[in-house]
């Protein structure tokens, strides 16, 4: 039996939050703060449960944060190709950039062939400072 999907004010706000962050990663705590600022009293368990559902549906990608012990969530590409390339994560602002260009793809293919690796793109990212954060150094 299919589980019904309920639209609540909280789920609508979570959708809004995710849509506003297509160019950056975010943490569960950032989402919790966003909900709190809008008058929604939601516990952490509810936030994590909603995030897990979005990951399971393929709408979000969950990966280890480069800046904390937690996880960062990122909007997956609409065409479902997000799992076929690596990402860059800014260590300062959390921006997540899709590295799906031909040069990066060719490099990863070369590394895989030369060393016999099979890269798990869902766990792989390059970390550093994005262009915006580098200008403020």
Domain-wise residue ranges, the chain: 1-76, 78-136
pTM to 2 decimal places: 0.67
pLDDT beyond 70 at 76: yes
pLDDT beyond 60 at 80: no
Helices 9-20/44-56 angle, 10° precision: 60
Is 82 a known ligand-binding residue? Answer: no
Helices 28-37/44-56 angle, 10° precision: 120
Is 93 a known ligand-binding residue? Answer: yes
In the structure, how many helices (H) and strands (E) does the chain have? 5, 5
d(CA 82, CA 16): 21
In CATH, which of 3.40.50.720, 2.40.50.140, 3.40.50.300, 1.10.10.10 is domain 1-76? 1.10.10.10
Computed from CA positions of residues 6, 42, 82, 111, in that sequence, does the dihedral angle turn out positive or negative?
Answer: negative
Q: What is the pLDDT of residues 86-103, one digit of tens each?
A: 888 888 877 778 787 889
Is 133 a known ligand-binding residue? Answer: yes
Task: Locate 50 and state its tokens.
Answer: 């909603």
pLDDT beyond 50 at 1: no
- pLDDT above 70 covers what percent of the chain? 87
Q: Residue 116: left (phi > 0), alpha (psi -120 to 50), or beta?
A: left
pLDDT band at 82 (very low <50, low <70, confident <90, very high): low
Q: What is the pLDDT of residues 109-135, one digit of tens each?
A: 898 899 998 887 766 778 889 888 888
Nearest to 59 by CA among 13, 100, 99, 19: 19
**Amino acid 6: pLDDT:** 64
Task: Locate 103 and state its tokens.
Answer: 């040069």
Q: What is the mean pLDDT of the chain?
A: 82
Q: Which CATH class is domain 78-136?
A: alpha beta
């Amino acid at each position: 039996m299919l589980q019904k999907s309920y639209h609540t004010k909280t789920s609508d706000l979570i959708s809004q939050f995710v849509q506003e962050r297509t160019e950056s990663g975010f943490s569960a705590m950032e989402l919790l703060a966003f909900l709190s600022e809008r008058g929604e009293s939601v516990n952490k368990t509810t936030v994590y449960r909603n995030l897990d559902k979005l990951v399971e549906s393929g709408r979000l990608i969950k990966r280890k944060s480069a800046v904390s012990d937690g996880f960062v969530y990122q909007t997956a590409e609409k065409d479902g190709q997000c799992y076929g390339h690596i990402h860059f994560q800014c260590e300062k602002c959390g921006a997540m950039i899709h590295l799906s260009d031909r040069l990066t793809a060719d490099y990863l293919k070369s590394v895989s062939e030369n060393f016999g690796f099979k890269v798990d793109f869902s766990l792989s990212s390059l970390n550093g400072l994005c262009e915006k954060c580098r200008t403020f150094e």
